[in-house]
Structure formats: structure tokens, C-alpha cells
């Protein structure tokens, strides 16, 4: 059994899963949104900030709290991008970190672990 190779393959699977989940959102509409509030949550002694975004969809102003938090408090009234499903039932904040983090990190790890597992590195 070769643990680096196995973990490398797991990282490839995570990368593929994340990319497929974003491919499923390709028909979602991008909306301009504004951060109108911030929800603070403490987990395991660490404080995270979750922005509350306001957006307009089909003539109605709506709000939602992003499921993506950060240790950096976002600025109130700053602009953001929201993605909404065609039927309006699902919405999430779009940012470079939530779009690319689970692609680049596991992809980088998978390359290093697979090379290590194959004794190339």
C-alpha cells in the first residue's frame, strides 16, 4: 500500500468533484449584490465573518447569508457577486476563493503526492 499515492488520488477525486459542481452552475445567473451586514460565528475558538448579501431577482429585493466565511471582516456596502439558479431556489456568493480554492489546493497536493508515491519526487 502506498499512502502518498492513495491520498494523491483522493485529492484528484476532490478536484474533479468540485469542478463538476461548478459545471452544474454554468446556467446560473450572475447578479450584482451588496454586502449589507455581517454575521459573526465562532467555531473552535476562531471567529469567522459571513457576509449578508442583498440582491434583486425578478423585481424583488432579497437577502441571504453566504455559507462562505472568512477571518477577514468584509466591508459593509461593498459589492459582491451572487449566483442564482434558474428557478431562484438556490443562491450562493461567488468569489475567487470559493470558486478556485477547492480546485487549486487539492490539485497541487495531488500532483505532489502522486509524484512522491511514484518515487519521482
Confidence class of residue 120 from pLDDT cuts 50, 70 and 90? confident
Residue 10: all three cell numbers together: 483522493
pLDDT at 97: 77
- DSSP per-residue string spanning 59-106: TEEEEEE-S--BSSPPPTT-EEEEEE-TTSS-EEEE-HHHHHHHHHHH
User: What is the C-alpha separation between 29 and 68, in angstroms, rounded?
Assistant: 19
User: What is the C-alpha separation between 3 and 114, in angstroms, rounded?
Assistant: 10
How confident is the model over 12-20, as a mean pLDDT? 91
pLDDT digits (tens, 9 = 90+) for 28-47: 999 999 999 999 999 899 99
Domain span holding position 90: 3-117
- In the predicted structure, residue 73 carries a pLDDT above the cut 70: yes
User: What is the C-alpha separation between 45 and 30, in angstroms, rounded?
Assistant: 34
Q: Indicate the Cα dihedral angle 25, 31, 36, 41, nearest 10°.
A: 10
Q: How many domains does the chain have?
A: 1
- In the predicted structure, residue 23 carries a pLDDT above the cut 80: yes
Amino acid at each position: 500500500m502506498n499512502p502518498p499515492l492513495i491520498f494523491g488520488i483522493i485529492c484528484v477525486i476532490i478536484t474533479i468533484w468540485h469542478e463538476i459542481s461548478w459545471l452544474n452552475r454554468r446556467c446560473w445567473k450572475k447578479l450584482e449584490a451588496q454586502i449589507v451586514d455581517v454575521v459573526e460565528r465562532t467555531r473552535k475558538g476562531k471567529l469567522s465573518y459571513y457576509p449578508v448579501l442583498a440582491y434583486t431577482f425578478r423585481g424583488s429585493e432579497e437577502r441571504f447569508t453566504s455559507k462562505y466565511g472568512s477571518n477577514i471582516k468584509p466591508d459593509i456596502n461593498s459589492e459582491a457577486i451572487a449566483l442564482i439558479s434558474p428557478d431562484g431556489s438556490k443562491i450562493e456568493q461567488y468569489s475567487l476563493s470559493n470558486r478556485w480554492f477547492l480546485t487549486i489546493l487539492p490539485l497541487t497536493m495531488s500532483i505532489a503526492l502522486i509524484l512522491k508515491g511514484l518515487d519521482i519526487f
